[in-house]
Structure 1
Amino acid sequence: MSPIAAAVAQGVGVVAGALLVKNLLDAEAKKPMAGGFPRCPRCNGAGRTECLCTRWSDKDYGCRSCGGSGRMRCNSCGGSGTGRPIPAQVRAGRGQ
């Protein structure tokens, strides 16, 4: 095999390997967490987001919501990290 053909084959192999790894990582990120519920889109499953006090401070953030950590409970998932639907009771009234 000529050196040029070997270099092309090696380059194609590297690109194919990179695409395979990218597809595996993308598929892993889309998998639901334990319990069958998908990750929260706002916090990406962490359950915590950046606290509001970090937006107006000058590197000395800390408030009751975050306890000085700069990260507060996610408002979308309530800190669970899942996109689990909130149970709601719907009562049908009698027609008059």
Structure 2
Amino acid sequence: MRDHGAGIPPATRHRIFRRFDRAGGKRTVGGSGLGLAIVDAIVKAHGGGCHVTDTPGGGATFTIRIPVSPGSGTLPLPVRAGDVVLQREAAE
């Protein structure tokens, strides 16, 4: 994900994936500080990692890397939220 907002100062990047921690600065949007912690926990559970870097022109770029299972040979197909809802409704 990439944005062109205020960005995340390098000095605070080490803590933005912690629960209830938020980067400093003035924000117009509230939050609990859990979103990135949840993403990080899920990615780590799959053997991956989350990273944040500067976006050229201002902002932040978040990169999520999850390794492909050895021996699978292929990447899984993307899943769309609408497909999940349709599968659930068909099962009911």
TM-score over 0.5 for the pair: no
Say which structure, 1 or 2, has more relative contact order (CA 8 Å, 6+ apart): 2
- Structure of greater Rg: 1
TM-score between both structures, scaled by the size of structure 1? 0.23
- Greater strand share, 1 or 2? 2
